[in-house]
Every structure is written in structure tokens, then in C-alpha cells.
Amino acid sequence: MGVGTGTGMSNAVDGQPSLISAVQAGDTDLVRILLHEHSDSDYLDAAFCLAVRMHAGRIAQLLLSTVRIQARAAPVTSSL
């Protein structure tokens, strides 16, 4: 397993979350692995915005589909 892979914690190399580092590197396979392991889920929005700014469409699509799946799985709560 690579540095920071599957941990959800900061990458030992640059102090960033593994998901953010994978997006910055343009590593679609690592992003897919991290998403499959539910790693760094707190950083999905930031990772998606970064992928869009980098014009990394395939990674952005992976992140967006993960957010959609999580939204469908989340329980509906009412504030009424």
C-alpha cells in the first residue's frame, strides 16, 4: 500500500490528505481506490473543485458520482 493510501490521513510527503494529493497528481486510479475505500470523505468537495480547476474531467466525474451515491444513501432528516 502506498504512502497515505487508504488511511484518510495526511500524506506523509506533503502533509495533504491523500485524496487531494492524488487529484493534484492526476492519478485517476489512486483516486478511484481512495473513493472505494471511503478514504478522505471529508475532502470530496475540495477534491472535486480542484479537479475542475485542473480540467481533470475523468477525476471530476469520479468524485461527482461518489457524492451522488452518498447523497442517495444519506438518511432524510426533517427540521420541521
> Which residue's C-alpha cell is 469520479?
62
Which cell numbers in the block locate residue 32? 478511484
Lowest mean pLDDT among 4-8, 16-20, 36-40: 4-8
The residue ranking higher by pLDDT, 14 or 27, is: 27
Kindly report the average pLDDT of the chain as a whole number: 80
* Residue whose C-alpha cell is 447523497: 71
What is the rounded distance in angstroms from the CA atom of residue 22 to the CA atom of residue 35? 11
- With a cut of 80, say whether residue 45 has pLDDT above it: yes
Any idea what DSSP says for residue 10? B
**pLDDT for the residue numbered 41:** 79
> Which pTM value belongs to this model?
0.70
Is residue 58 pLDDT above 70, yes or no? Answer: yes
Instruction: Tell me if residue 44 falls in helix, strand or coil.
Output: helix
Tell me the three state secondary structure of residue 33: helix
